[in-house]
Structure 1
Amino acid sequence: MNRCVRHAAVFCVLLLAAVLANTARVQVVEAGRFNGNPANHRIALGRYLQPRGDILVGAERVTGSRATGGRLRYERTYREGPLYAPVTGFASQTYGTTLLEGTEDGLLSGTSSALASTPLWDELTRARQRGGDVHTTIDQAAQRAAFDGLAGRRGAVAAIDPVTGRILALVSSPSYDPGLLSGTGPAVNAAWSRLNDDPAQPMLDRAIRQTYPPGSTFKVVTAAAALQQGLVRDVNAPTDSPDPYRLQGTLVDLTNESDGCEDASVYDAFRISCNTVFAKLGTDLGPHGVVDQAQLFGFNDTGLRIPAGVAKSTMDTTMGPDQVALSSIGQFDTTATPLQMAMVAAAVGNGGRLMRPYLVDRVTNHNGLTVVSQHPSLLHQAVSARTAGQLQQLMEAVVTHGTGGNAAIPGVVVGGKTGTAQHGVGNTGTPYAWFISYARPASAEHAAVAVAVVVEDAEARRADISGGGNAAPIARAVMQAVLSSPQPTGEFSPPSGN
């Protein structure tokens, strides 16, 4: 081989090596960047090349896919879209994904390695699996009862199985049809603009993404702190609580909507919802006493996911005595999502054990085999079993002899707490009506369902009775629906003890 041929051969080998190195860089090292580039239309085309997996409520598929006849071959469809929108979210070819459509996107679209029967081979060949199906924990009857109960009024409902943490209902009202956003084109763009410009905010998931002042429903937390820390040992003993109560360091007198609150026992003060008694309890406990207890119920948790992220329910950690007093009755800067308040009721109904709430029971592949499953887990021991029993006594008295009579169910033990949350400048806004509750069959040890209901546009006087009038009937309907539904197989049994 002469010198020129040898140099040419070496040069060709170097060129080939450079081409191979660049190919490896593009296909391996830079693959993620190219895949994420909005200008790469192959990703979108591949994404909608096949039908998406479905989201199920019980045995019913509440989502589907339909052929478009276009380059994006399939788009999302929804069955009873407004009913399940706070659960499913939307999957849009134009605007992306939200809620379960977003958090479970890899499984639904078929891109998750969890679906692969031969993971290494599929990764090398970039073969696309058929999408998996996401099975939710939602109880169909409970979801319907909550949706019908709100009847288009602004508000939300969250229901939980206290023993497992399974979310049984998530409803936000007013709602919207996610199918309006599925495809592309002027109609989809117009629907997006219309929904975003609507002052009623139909796309806001009020059950998990909106926080409200919890009003007197927060008295469950204050009572828990007082009992757990020994400030109150006998719920039937009189308290040294004046009516009105002067907020410390101010000239402001706190009053009550109910009579008989002066020196009332915790039992009676809870039953008729005396602001003065619980404000004084909060002041006596101090900021850390109330805040620490609230955090055991889930407040100030920035990492709660169900799997969609849940807005943080807040209680200020730096307060003066007057602010602690107001926070202890669910005012000042204290805010909570409906899911958070359902968690409070669930912990009480479950003997003090707060289970981590979850919305996805399992994911199955296209052959029906389970590839991902969720199991119950303890989030916090919110209170001791003894304190939980005392709180149950208080909450059940609200329903039998207090402001929550509209939640009573014959033959069922129901505990509840009404609340009216003041808001707006100078508390001039129409109050939010709250009701939180749990229910258990008389023969059962633990509650079968816990519910929180908030109605934003409750037309009622500023008294806790409005929660009993507007929100309690909705909670009762949801609890009845759950108690009438067949229980899921493989029900979790909680360990004994405190």
Structure 2
Amino acid sequence: MNAPLRRVGVVAMVLFGLLFANLNWVQAYKADEYRTSDYNGRVQVAEYDRKRGNIEAGGTALATSQATDGNLKYLRTYPGGAEYAHVIGYKPVNLGDTGIERLENDFLAGTSDQLIADRVKDMFTGDESGGGNVLLSISKNAQKAAYDGLRNNNNGVKRGAAVALDPRTGAVQALVSMPSFDPNPLASHDTSEASAAYNKYEQDPAGPLKNRALAEVLPPGSTFKMVVAAAALEDGVTPQTRIPAGSSWRASTGGNTITNAVPSICPQSEVTLMTAVTDSCNTGFAQLGVRIGAEALKEKARQFGFDQEDLTVGHLGEGGHRVAPSRTGDIQNPDGGTDEAALGQSAIGQRDVRMTPLQGALISAAVANGGAQMRPYLVQQLLAPDRTTDYYTARPRELRQPVSSKVAGDLRDMMVNVVREGTGRNAAFDGYTVGGKTGTAQSGPQNADHGWFIGFALDSKGTPVSAVCVVLEEAGSGGSAEAARIAGRIMRAAVSDSGGR
């Protein structure tokens, strides 16, 4: 064999070797990825051959599968529509699924290892194997109150969020992000229609696909004062301790002058901590923050859940909606020393302090629950396709204890006074003791202020039954009062719904 032929033969053998190696690599390492790819048509057809399980709340189906005459045998539909969109998410044909549809996909699809006995049984009986059913902790009444309250708010706000929890268990009673979206077009078997719907939502500057309840971080304003008050109480201050106040305050190192919302709020040189919380005294809390110190303030915020990177809300086990971490910021000068002016601003929930609505609800829930903060969850139960077997029931567990029961009791009393005599009166409703804290937060020199409210409701025996956070973005004047009004209606709805309790 001459030299050119030998070279061709060697090249051919090398190419064949590479092809053989690639084939084995695909079979050994890429097979699962290709088999389960959203772009594998055979996988899609097979997935839609089995009826997907329901997602339900309070006995009502919020996501169901309807039989069709097409190649894909079942169409996913969402009777709950936009009201539940950010809880449930959606299950599209070619796009990525989201929410509970993604988090509990294997169970809903019937492919979970938990359902192997059901699949074996169906093989012998000849029945069609279906997916399992996911039951949520959501209170239908509370969810409706949150959705309607945000959409029809009296300030004409277009963006906001609301979260309600059972303080004793962490069960999510309501979770709404505004604006919302209709998930039904996204699940269409017409992929062009689904893609067009997704592009429309994605390009909407209002951001309807964003889950603001869990992913939006905003300056919390005076709601953050409850964290400062907790640190002060642990430092020996009592609700009746007099703290420095005044009509204005400016750090000794300079910076912006801090004033109160109106001149009538704590113009005297000293007020009690109870009065400072009730009337939302900025000057008092700015000076209290400086007294406590940056590290103690940041540490107390961390104990309430700030800076947690791995919190999720869904199943109490692994997985869930990811929650953006809330932050306090550095609160220091470039040289590493404490910036007194920044500390004063941070103590009233401004500067670099940022909080999610869920974090606000967790703060009020911990206060209501004697200092114990429970891990939030959405998935209450996993039931077999025929609903006869319970594969999972949520067993509430404590996430952390940011304050002692004594400190929690003092915070609770002060928050109750805010609703009775202070800025949170709009949250009150008959038959329950309601506590809370309003917050007005600057959002930029050209933007209206955000309106916040965090709070809780106790029954006649003092048992906490609901904790809530409502934020209305750029609500302007009266925004926190309107947030308090909506929060009160959400809590009232939650306690009227036995499924939410």
Q: Do the two structures share a fold, i.e. TM-score over 0.5? A: yes
Check the 8 A contact 1:195/1:201 in 2, yes or no. yes
Which residue pairs with 1:407 in the alignment?
Answer: 427
After superposition, residues 241-280 of structure 1 pair within 5 angstroms as: 241-258=245-262, 259-261=264-266, 262-280=269-287
In 2, the alpha carbon distance for the partners of 1:453 and 1:338 equals 7
Task: From 225, 229, 236, give the equivalent of 1:223.
Answer: 229
Alpha carbon RMSD of aligned pairs, Å? 2.4
Instruction: Identify if the C-alpha distance between structure 1 residues 39 and 97 changes in structure 2 by more than 3 Å, giving closer, same or farther.
Output: closer
After superposition, residues 19-38 of structure 1 pair within 5 angstroms as: 30-37=30-37
TM-score (norm 2): 0.86
Amino acid across the alignment from 1:335 = R
In 2, the alpha carbon distance for the partners of 1:180 and 1:295 equals 41
Matched, 1:349 2:353: no
**Structure 1 moving runs of 4+ over 6 Å:** 22-28, 118-122
Which residue pairs with 2:311 in the alignment?
Answer: 304
Deviates more, 1:356-365 or 1:478-487: 478-487
Q: Deviations over 1:388-429 (max 9, x none)?
A: 1110111011111101111111231110101111112x3x31
Task: From 482, 491, 494, give the equivalent of 1:479.
Answer: 491
Which residue pairs with 1:286 in the alignment?
Answer: 293
Task: From 413, 417, 421, give the equivalent of 1:393.
Answer: 413
Instruction: Identify if the C-alpha distance between structure 1 residues 93 and 442 changes in structure 2 by more than 3 Å, giving closer, same or farther.
Output: same
Which residue pairs with 2:12 in the alignment?
Answer: none
SS where residue 371 of structure 1 aligns? strand
Amino acid across the alignment from 1:267 = M
Q: Deviations over 1:244-281 (max 9, x none)?
A: 11134224211111324232211111111011111111
Q: Deviations over 1:352-371 (max 9, x none)?
A: 11001011011111121111
In 1, the alpha carbon distance for the partners of 2:400 and 2:244 equals 32
Where in structure 1 are there 5+ consecutive unaligned residues?
A: 1-21, 492-498
Displacement of 1:436 after TM fit? 0.9
Which residue pairs with 1:75 in the alignment?
Answer: 75
Check the 8 A contact 1:111/1:128 in 2, yes or no. no
Which residue pairs with 2:317 in the alignment?
Answer: none
Deviates more, 1:146-155 or 1:375-384: 146-155
Displacement of 1:209 after TM fit? 1.5
After superposition, residues 29-178 of structure 1 pair within 5 angstroms as: 30-37=30-37, 39-117=39-117, 130-151=130-151, 153-178=158-183
Which residue pairs with 1:212 in the alignment?
Answer: 218
In 1, the alpha carbon distance for the partners of 2:87 and 2:412 equals 30
In 1, the alpha carbon distance for the partners of 2:357 and 2:219 equals 10
In 1, the alpha carbon distance for the partners of 2:416 and 2:179 equals 31
Would you say how many aligned residue pairs link Structure 1 and Structure 2? Answer: 455
Check the 8 A contact 1:113/1:119 in 2, yes or no. no
Check the 8 A contact 1:115/1:129 in 2, yes or no. no
Matched, 1:435 2:442: no
Amino acid across the alignment from 1:397 = N
Displacement of 1:37 after TM fit? 4.4
Check the 8 A contact 2:326/2:359 in 1, yes or no. yes
In 1, the alpha carbon distance for the partners of 2:252 and 2:52 equals 60
Instruction: Identify if the C-alpha distance between structure 1 residues 443 and 48 changes in structure 2 by more than 3 Å, giving closer, same or farther.
Output: same
In 2, the alpha carbon distance for the partners of 1:264 and 1:338 equals 30
Amino acid across the alignment from 2:398 = L
In 1, the alpha carbon distance for the partners of 2:45 and 2:97 equals 16
Check the 8 A contact 2:50/2:129 in 1, yes or no. no
TM-score (norm 1): 0.86
Amino acid across the alignment from 2:434 = V
Where in structure 2 are there 5+ consecutive unaligned residues?
A: 1-21, 153-157, 314-319, 333-338
SS where residue 473 of structure 1 aligns? helix
Check the 8 A contact 1:346/1:438 in 2, yes or no. yes
Which residue pairs with 1:203 in the alignment?
Answer: 209
Q: Deviations over 1:133-182 (max 9, x none)?
A: 11100000000011111125321110000000000000111211101100
Matched, 1:417 2:437: yes
Q: Deviations over 1:227-255 (max 9, x none)?
A: 1232x1x2223212343111342242111
In 1, the alpha carbon distance for the partners of 2:378 and 2:68 equals 31
Displacement of 1:188 after TM fit? 1.8
Task: From 192, 202, 206, give the equivalent of 2:198.
Answer: 192
Check the 8 A contact 2:222/2:440 in 1, yes or no. yes
Amino acid across the alignment from 1:63 = A
Instruction: Identify if the C-alpha distance between structure 1 residues 186 and 24 changes in structure 2 by more than 3 Å, giving closer, same or farther.
Output: closer
Displacement of 1:324 after TM fit? 2.0
Check the 8 A contact 1:212/1:336 in 2, yes or no. yes
Amino acid across the alignment from 1:455 = L
Displacement of 1:128 after TM fit? 9.8
In 2, the alpha carbon distance for the partners of 1:213 and 1:68 equals 48
Displacement of 1:36 after TM fit? 4.1
Check the 8 A contact 2:331/2:342 in 1, yes or no. no
Q: Deviations over 1:35-91 (max 9, x none)?
A: 244553222221222221111011111111123433222221001211111110111
Check the 8 A contact 2:457/2:467 in 1, yes or no. yes
In 2, the alpha carbon distance for the partners of 1:188 and 1:309 equals 25
Which residue pairs with 2:15 in the alignment?
Answer: none
Which residue pairs with 2:16 in the alignment?
Answer: none
